[in-house]
Chain A
């Protein structure tokens, strides 16, 4: 019930390739999030699962059955659209009942004036009426049943759209950025609502979003797409903690992972922005050479620079503070950045608790004890390995 396989799917629109040989499985009952920037192919992928688009090559398989050539209505999947796509001329009740009523569609409903017979079962058929009532009850929209979509607020429309999907009891729910038209507060609420729905039905959910917060908080598994190809897939924590590439590392997390040019020398260790990092290599490391070094903001420590120059850490200047209540985000410009990066303005973000060094102060940024350091190949931008920060008995320790 609800295992969706995508087998080597490619989709071309003329000369452009929207999806390039994607292989993917959504296990039964899973909450699978397709995450990526706009144009990465995530919506195209969802539309192909739904049957609204057709792969140029490759197959879509649901529960072992090849559905690639089946019409959308014959796949037993429900879709929640970004714009909700409610039928504007129908009441909420009819919107919910519509997928159920289509079972009773006959050719003669096309005849003028006889068409309204299609809607007869909306109230007369107990099965239909009960299922609509139950879905409305679950989503708390029973009072809205006789209203038209245009009279509803954005959040209410969103519930009706969820209800229309729920009422069919499909093998899987496909959701295409369902929260992007809501304001921030409603978005957070509806996130929980969708999670509750997932728990209650136990059905597979394939959820498309470009919002990494949604991906992290909702998905049991996250698939990061870029330029029509899968960059990485796995549980949210794994993707956050062990990004497979510079792209994934930058795409997930606010602020994005700090990544800068560095060097690896088995004798000395890892240096970054000209400063040595307190780090122990682990994993298979290449021979000495240049690489890209990435550290998340919460794994960094910033302190006013008092020690001698040879001490570990990146030396820099505090550029600005961003106080977000329980913590302060400190932006530091490395001293080495001026020399090194005619390339781009570099900035290190550090999560800091308590009083932060003042703006303009000379500081030293080091990796927290146990903090994770990720190393990337500068040419391919793929992950090489990781290392962890170690306690160094100097004045820098917190």
Chain B
């Protein structure tokens, strides 16, 4: 074959396509830079300053003082413990309840669509409305919860659900699970339905017990979904603010004072933006650590189950 003519490499269309893509993402990128990236950097900067809420531009650099103060603060241990308890309890509770709900829904049901629609109610309801109705339902004197519980034979006293340091955390976790588990249930239902029925039939033919079928067929089938869900639920729990804030405000006696609540209190109640930001940075580091753990675990499980995560 002869070379007809020497042609210049045609670069233009490729570059034009790149420009087109960039133009399409530019508005989003600018928005994210303004509202996510810049505040993130600014938050880092603020954590090295002493800044009053009233004059956010007029802070003075104090180096690592905020972090030193935070680490020396005897409350820090309790805050982290409360955050951990809240996160673990609400994630585990949502996953377990969600899995139970999904398995109940996965058997031959007419009107599964309706059931799924009903399951979206807690998830769709605004956090503020949720908080208000639960404050009313958990009211120590007139709430339906206490009334209903005292109908039971073994309960005879009214409880101050949101005002008792021992009960506030369980109450807040319960409300959180109510709001979150349907999301887990719907995601897990989709995963369950994606498992081919033949696998169960094959397992039955091989005389696997129900428990064995769950462990050998169901578990590997839903493992990737459970993992992804666990990550998202953890991140959401970790950063959850409004539900806790409105139900208890972090009280009573700091019993529900998670990192996010404390951060907001320091910044806007105690009006210390610098100290509040330092708490936020610690929180961010912890959630990044959680994500890293997720990726390591999911890769390992992915190798075990094949193609997970």
Contacts and interface: CB of A to CB of B under 8 A. Distances in A.
A54 B14 contact: yes
Contacts of B5: 7-8, 59
Given A56-B9, A57-B9, A8 B3 contact: yes
Interface in B1-39: 1-5, 7-10, 12-14
Interface string A51-86: 000111111000000001100000000000000000
A58 B13 contact: no
Contacts of A58: 7
Contacts of B14: 54
B228 to A, nearest CB: 31
Contacts of B10: 54-57, 68-69
A23 interface: yes
A255 interface: no
A56 B14 CA distance: 11
B131 to A, nearest CB: 37
A282 B13 CA distance: 52
Contacts of A170: none
Contacts of B3: 8, 21
Contacts of B12: 69
B1 A7 contact: no
Contacts of A54: 10, 13-14
Interface string A205-237: 000000000000000000000000110000000
A8 B9 contact: no
A8 B7 contact: yes
A54 B11 CA distance: 9
B116 to A, nearest CB: 26
Nearest to A7: B4
A55 to B, nearest CB: 6
Contact of A57 (B1, B7, B13): B7
A8 B9 CA distance: 12
Contacts of B4: 7-8, 23
B7 A23 contact: no
B18 to A, nearest CB: 13
Contacts of B7: 7-8, 55, 57-59, 68
A56 B9 CA distance: 6
Given A7-B7, A8-B7, A57-B7, A23 B13 contact: no
A23 to B, nearest CB: 6
Of the listed residues B4, B8, B14, the one surrounded by the most CB atoms of chain A closer than 10 A to its CB is: B4
Interface in A97-135: none
A150 to B, nearest CB: 23
B11 to A, nearest CB: 9
Contacts of B8: 57
Nearest to A21: B1
Interface string A1-33: 000000110000000000001110000000000
A55 B2 CA distance: 17
Contacts of A229: 1
A57 B6 CA distance: 8
A54 to B, nearest CB: 5
A23 B9 contact: no
Interface in A31-63: 54-59
Nearest to B2: A23
A22 B7 CA distance: 13
A101 B9 CA distance: 34
Contacts of A56: 9-10
A7 B1 CA distance: 11
A57 B5 CA distance: 10
A234 to B, nearest CB: 16
A56 B12 CA distance: 11
Nearest to B10: A54
A230 B1 CA distance: 9
A23 B4 CA distance: 8
A224 to B, nearest CB: 15
Contacts of A22: 1
Nearest to B11: A54
A56 B10 CA distance: 6
A138 to B, nearest CB: 34
Nearest to B9: A57
Nearest to A10: B7
A227 to B, nearest CB: 14
Contacts of B1: 8, 21-23, 229-230
A22 B3 CA distance: 9
A68 B12 CA distance: 10
A56 B13 CA distance: 11
Contacts of A230: 1
A57 B10 CA distance: 7
B189 to A, nearest CB: 28
A57 B7 CA distance: 6
A52 to B, nearest CB: 10
A228 B13 CA distance: 22
Nearest to A9: B7
Contacts of A23: 1-2, 4
Contacts of B13: 54, 69
B262 to A, nearest CB: 45
Nearest to B14: A54
Nearest to B13: A54
B163 to A, nearest CB: 52
Interface of B: 1-5, 7-10, 12-14
The 7 closest A-B pairs by CB, nearest first: A7-B4, A8-B4, A54-B13, A57-B7, A54-B10, A58-B7, A21-B1
24 contacts: A7-B5, A8-B1, A8-B3, A8-B4, A8-B5, A8-B7, A21-B1, A22-B1, A23-B2, A54-B10, A54-B13, A55-B7, A55-B10, A56-B9, A56-B10, A57-B8, A57-B9, A57-B10, A58-B7, A59-B5, A68-B7, A69-B12, A69-B13, A230-B1
Given A21-B1, A57-B7, 11 more contacts: A8-B3, A8-B4, A22-B1, A54-B10, A56-B10, A57-B8, A58-B7, A68-B7, A68-B10, A69-B10, A230-B1
